[in-house]
Structure 1
């Protein structure tokens, strides 16, 4: 008895066959030594770039620690990431500054958790605007806090490599919740923290 292939396996076969057909349409030999393994390699790369669909920010933010803190924001700055644009499937890469202000007496997340939450969303077909909002929404949902913030700066392949072809241009997006949205002074102090250098 032959079992029906899983939808993912069937989709993988269609994808690799489709890419091989595209090679042929471009006048290339999909069975050549150089290209015969390329469809499979492309598929594995795309699976790696979109592994965030199989992850959940709740998993990373569930582990917290009862730490006394000063009532000031907790921030991780300059966190690198790469995502795939959902419009052209070209990469965009940059850094994120992420912060939150715990409620008095609330536990805090481990140091690695903010970058991991960023990766959950960056490893999906994305827009930068969505990632920025998704990070703060996840912090709001899973931590006890007074506000969250995320600022992302990145260079987009769809702007640098095609169309307008403006390499070096950066897109900047920001999301603020709670006190960082409501209080301009708190937001200004947060920006000072983000821009601080040792």
Structure 2
């Protein structure tokens, strides 16, 4: 992993100064140092380009002969839309079933894997695919899956300005087992209980379901190791 050079930061500062000038923006002392601050901020936001996120999977440990299903949920994901340079914010769930007798990866490395791919200019479909491909390549599990549910600034801050919709993407690799799949979706659908995702206004049809008492009960406890 490396960081951006001072020359790169200075070039970004110049570009941001040009952006402010193009829109005739001058807020006095509030924007005097804005180009430098924004350049440093973008260096962090785009930090995923300075590393190979798959390298985080090199940290592994011994495991039981049959370690079962490993699920990491509520992974906070913050990325940037490649089309409009606006934020993508959501949560990811990653699951994999190690092969019997194989080592398992350090759990925080899965979070770092997602974060590394997210801190780039992205479309959501790429992130799920990249996470699955990295785990399949580096760990060779029996099965791996990744799902992300996220909100898009390019849909809420501009254009259609829809604050209610979100986007879910899913990718998997390997031989699926129905119990693992059920556990995965129970973890992902139920994964927002900690409040990481901002609640949305109830849609009219949602309110109707609640009034009728038809809202689905809480998902069953997933099978395997869920964090």
SS in 2 for 1:169: coil
Give the equivalent residue in structure 2 for 1:20.
20
Matched, 1:62 2:61: no
Contact 1:152 1:174 in 2 (8 A): yes
SS in 1 for 2:89: strand
SS in 2 for 1:145: coil
1:125 to 107, 110, 121: 121
Give the equivalent residue in structure 1 for 2:137.
141
Matched, 1:154 2:150: yes
Q: Using the TM superposition, give the Cα deviation of residue 91 of structure 1 relative to its aligned residue in structure 2, in angstroms.
A: 0.3
Give the equivalent residue in structure 1 for 2:42.
46
Q: Using the TM superposition, give the Cα deviation of residue 139 of structure 1 relative to its aligned residue in structure 2, in angstroms.
A: 0.4
User: CA deviation digits over 1:121-170, x for unaligned, max 9?
Assistant: 00001111110111001101111311110000011111111111111311
Give the equivalent residue in structure 2 for 1:163.
159
Q: Distance in 2 between matches of 1:176 and 1:137?
A: 9
Q: Using the TM superposition, give the Cα deviation of residue 43 of structure 1 relative to its aligned residue in structure 2, in angstroms.
A: 1.3
Runs of 4 or more above 6 Å deviation: none
Distance 1:165 1:146, change over 3 A: same
Contact 2:13 2:38 in 1 (8 A): no
SS in 2 for 1:177: strand
Unaligned runs of 5+ in 1: none
1:188 to 182, 187, 195: 182
SS in 2 for 1:158: helix
Give the equivalent residue in structure 2 for 1:103.
99
1:29 to 26, 29, 33: 26
Unaligned runs of 5+ in 2: 191-219, 223-227
Normalised TM-score (structure 2): 0.75
Q: Distance in 2 between matches of 1:192 and 1:141?
A: 26
Q: How many positions carry a matched residue from both structures?
A: 188
